[in-house]
Amino acid sequence: MSEVLIKTVNLEKSFGDLHVLKGINEEIKKGEIVVIIGPSGSGKSTFLRCLNLMEQPTGGQVIFKGTDLTAPKVDINAQRQKMGMVFQHFNLFPHLTVLQTMTLAPVQLKLKSKEDAEADALALLEKVGLLEKANEYPNMLSGGQKQRVAIVRALNMEPEVMLFDEPTSALDPEMVGEVLEVMQDLAQSGMTMAIVTHEMSFARRVATRVMFVDEGVIAEQNTPDEFFDNPQNPRLKEFLSKVKNV
Amino acid sequence: MNIFSGIIEIFTSTDYMSYVWNGLGKTLLISVFASLLGLVLGIIVALVKISYPKRKKALCVPNAICSAYVTIIRGTPVALQLFIMVFAIFAIRGFPVEITAILTFGINSGAYVSESIRAGILSVDKGQTEAGLSLGLSGGQTMRLIVIPQAIKNVIPTIGNELIALIKETSIVSMVGIVDLTFAAKIIGAGDKMADYLVPMLVAAIFYLAVVYILTFVIKYVEKRLRRGDRT
């Protein structure tokens, strides 16, 4: 049995009166590729963002490698170094070049020397086909290139898990493929990943487990083939039929 | 007397020009140090106000002080502030009145600058902070390395305006006896010298204009340099 990397215990999140997550108990094991789908407003992004405390849970616990991240004394910054995150809108740093963007955190946090961080960054850029963009500013990159840089920015921290929050939703359709390709390679390299996405064929191809989040709970989860071919939950059936009809 | 020949007379008289240069020196001295003080105060006040919602307990008192400071300074005339500082708070024999003026204008400028800096920081997309934090950087590191460099770019034009306004506002120090550029012009125009106020005032205006023009140029250059990484 693989080691449990992230565990949520009765995880709850409210925004004011809006009860978004209603007690989620879940585990993500090392090496798993968990894809999270669900209708908009279901709480799937909030769930993902609670895993590295981008959103502060209003109840329950998030346990990462045995450390309760919601405990008051925990050094959340140190824990986040091991949890990479990729955002829908890339959030690259417009005042820094690609290389500076990728080396900022590892060097500032004294995890790598400047030389090592740069060497690693260049190796990662080469892997995702962006080596020639190392000294460009983000405004010179296309959306797909930006998101690939955002992925390798997180990877240069050498995280143990990668969280993807709708990584292709803000992209032009012709650029979705290049980002999914990078993610697929990453999955094959053994990285543990949690991905919120609307890319159903990607989910079926790459995921080890697919979750359906609806109204703040995980309504159903299964292996990709069972999940898509034999859904049980009526809301999931409805959701999948709508998505497939598009 | 012809205005043009009057201007020539001032520029060719070493006596008159020494008044002008010394006056300009005082104006610049007060402007430069006051704007530095204003920048420091402005950054501190802006950071306190921005951090307050996240740390209500620790910053309760500092935030109240900063709010009162900004409200009072922005709500009263700077000439009055100068009089209070010179004739009441620092009415100490031998205390250089130039320093009092620097403090007054620095404190005054800080209140305005803090609001522009606060707006500049808030104008940086929240995703930038999230990206910094997600990499494991602390809140302070994220602010210093990611948010502030972008905020500076956004506030350069307003801070520049503030500096330009400050240079001209310092002319009221002539009301408390500091011989700045404005006061120098008044001295040159008095009855025992040229006995004509218009010409020296015009000369002073030329110098103010020149300083502001050069500053505008510098601000534009800095802005352009900082904008190179922007979205096109």
Q: Where are the domains of chain B?
A: 3-231
Give this prediction's pTM.
0.82
Q: Over range B210-230, report the average pLDDT.
A: 86
For tokens 């690693």, the residue is A120
Task: Report pLDDT for A41.
Answer: 87
Q: How is residue B183 written in tokens?
A: 């006061």
How close does chain B come to A241, measured CA to CA in Å?
33
Strand duo A67-68 + A217-222: pairing: unpaired
The CATH H-level (homologous superfamily) assignment of domain B3-231 is: MetI-like (1.10.3720.10)
- Residues B136, A93: C-beta atoms closer than 8 Å: no
Using 50, 70 and 90 to split pLDDT, how confident is the model at A233? very high
Q: Over range A109-137, report the average pLDDT.
A: 96
Cα dihedral B161, B162, B168, B169 in deg (nearest 10): 150
d(CA A174, CA A158): 29
Q: Over range B174-184, report the average pLDDT.
A: 95
A124 within 8 A of B157, measured Cβ to Cβ:
no
Using 50, 70 and 90 to split pLDDT, how confident is the model at A245? low
Q: Over range A126-138, report the average pLDDT.
A: 95
Q: Over range A93-118, report the average pLDDT.
A: 96
Which of A118-127, A134-143, A190-199, B55-64 bottoms out in mean pLDDT, i.e. has the lowest?
B55-64
How close does chain B come to A244, measured CA to CA in Å?
32
Backbone angles phi, psi at A171, to 5 degrees: -95, 150
Q: Over range A109-135, report the average pLDDT.
A: 96
- In this model, does residue B13 exceed pLDDT 60? yes
Q: How is residue B169 written in tokens?
A: 């506002």
Using an 8 Å CB-CB cutoff, list chain B residues near A104.
135, 137, 145-146
Which of A16-25, A237-246, B186-195 bottoms out in mean pLDDT, i.e. has the lowest?
A237-246
The burial class, CB within 10 Å (0-12 / 13-18 / 19+), for B44 is: middle
d(CA B7, CA A116): 65
Using an 8 Å CB-CB cutoff, list chain B residues near A92.
131
Using 50, 70 and 90 to split pLDDT, how confident is the model at A246? very low
Q: A62 - beta bridge partners?
A: A8
- In this model, does residue B209 exceed pLDDT 50? yes
- Residues B134, A104: C-beta atoms closer than 8 Å: no
Residue of B nearest to A52 (CA): B134
What value of ipTM does the predicted structure carry? 0.92
Q: Over range B211-231, report the average pLDDT.
A: 84
Q: Over range B121-140, report the average pLDDT.
A: 95
Q: Over range B4-17, report the average pLDDT.
A: 91
- Residues B231, A80: C-beta atoms closer than 8 Å: no
| Of B224 and A115, more confident | A115
Task: Report pLDDT for B191.
Answer: 85
* Residue in B127, B128, B232 nearest the CB of A139: B232
d(CA B118, CA B100): 27
Residue of B nearest to A139 (CA): B231
Q: How is residue B48 written in tokens?
A: 């306190």
CA-based nearest residue to B147, from B131, B170, B133, B129: B129
| Of B197 and A1, more confident | B197
- In this model, does residue B126 exceed pLDDT 70? yes
Task: Report pLDDT for A1.
Answer: 58
- Residues B128, A96: C-beta atoms closer than 8 Å: no
Residue of B nearest to A111 (CA): B136
Which of A1-5, A94-98, B75-79 bottoms out in mean pLDDT, i.e. has the lowest?
A1-5
Using 50, 70 and 90 to split pLDDT, how confident is the model at B84? very high
Helical spans, DSSP H, in chain A: 44-51, 76-80, 98-108, 114-127, 143-155, 173-188, 200-206, 224-229, 234-245
Using 50, 70 and 90 to split pLDDT, how confident is the model at B2? confident
Residue of A nearest to B146 (CA): A93
d(CA B107, CA B45): 11
- Residues B150, A91: C-beta atoms closer than 8 Å: no
Using 50, 70 and 90 to split pLDDT, how confident is the model at B232? very low
d(CA B197, CA B174): 15
